[in-house]
Each structure stands twice: as C-alpha cells, then as structure tokens.
Copies of this chain bind each other. A is one copy, B any other.
Amino acid sequence: MIVADVAFYPIGKGVSASEAIKKAIEALRGAGVRCYPNSMATVMEAESLEQIFAAVARAEKALVDMGYPRVETILRVDDRRDLENSVERKLRALGEE
C-alpha cells in the first residue's frame, strides 16, 4: 500500500483556492483513492504508485479545466516495502489515531 499527500496551488484566478481544492478532492475520490483532507494537503492511500499518479493527473486536469492558467502540484509519496503501510498504521504508530 502507498501512503502519499498532494497539495495543489491553483494560480491566476483570485486568492482563495477552496472551491478548486474541493473539485480536486472530488476528482481524487472519483479515481478510487482513499482521501483524508487536512488544511495543507490531502493525504491519500492506494494500492500502487500508478493509482496515485492517475488520481493526481485527474485532479490536476480538473483544475486546468476550471480555467486556471497555472497549477502547481506538490506530491509526496511514502513507499515502504518492509511492512504493510497504511494511513491507520502510521497514525497508530504516532499514537494519534
């Protein structure tokens, strides 16, 4: 399992991004990725890196289709092969479930 987070900075149509970020989260969820939005990014959990990339591409396109002339995307991926990684496991290990 892959745990990751993505932040989008849509630029060129005002200061607030919340409507755009809502659309992006919708697109991520529509791609079958489990999403856990927070106030700086959206944590994602998926079976493979390819599934994460496909979801992020879909969300980025949703922002471009909203007419943003520039979209910055910051994607961070935590890929562990020594154990079965998950959002829940990581939070439990921090005592922060």
Contacts and interface: CB of A to CB of B under 8 A. Distances in A.
Contacts of A37: 91, 94, 96
Given A73-B76, A79-B64, A90 B39 contact: yes
The copy count of this chain in the complex is: 4
Interface in A13-55: 14-16, 18, 21-22, 25, 36-41, 43, 49-50, 53
A76 B74 contact: yes
Interface residues of A, number: 50
Contacts of A43: 38-40
Contacts of A74: 74-77
Given A9-B72, A39-B36, A15 B94 contact: no
A37 B97 CA distance: 10
Interface of A: 3-5, 7, 9, 11-12, 14-16, 18, 21-22, 25, 36-41, 43, 49-50, 53, 56-57, 60, 64, 68-82, 87, 90-91, 93-96
